[in-house]
Amino acid sequence: MWQQWKKTAPLMQVFIIGLCALAAYQGKSAGFVAMTFVLMQIGSLLGAWWGAKIKRKIEDRESRLPLQDRL
């Protein structure tokens, strides 16, 4: 999971900080901006976990023999 997160982290962090800065610029409260930041960080981790899970399933399926599912 961490390898998947490391691949997407730089761009995702820039995006999250940009959205939070935009919310602060528009006059949203500090609590709203902080909650948005935390929720987007959690979403980033969950997305990396989900992406790693899907990648692992695909790799497991590709490494099987063609008739292995019939046994």
pLDDT of residue 68: 67
pLDDT of residue 70: 65
> Would you kindly state where each structural domain of the chain is located, as residue ranges?
31-57
Task: Kindly indicate the confidence band of residue 14, based on its pLDDT and cuts at 50, 70 and 90.
Answer: very high
Asked whether the predicted pLDDT for residue 30 surpasses 80, the reply is: yes
Between CA 56 and CA 71, with CA 69 as vertex, the angle to 5 degrees is 135
Task: Kindly indicate the confidence band of residue 2, based on its pLDDT and cuts at 50, 70 and 90.
Answer: confident
Average of per-residue pLDDT values in the chain = 86
Contacts of 33 (CB under 8 A, 6+ apart): 20, 23, 24
Task: Kindly indicate the confidence band of residue 39, based on its pLDDT and cuts at 50, 70 and 90.
Answer: very high
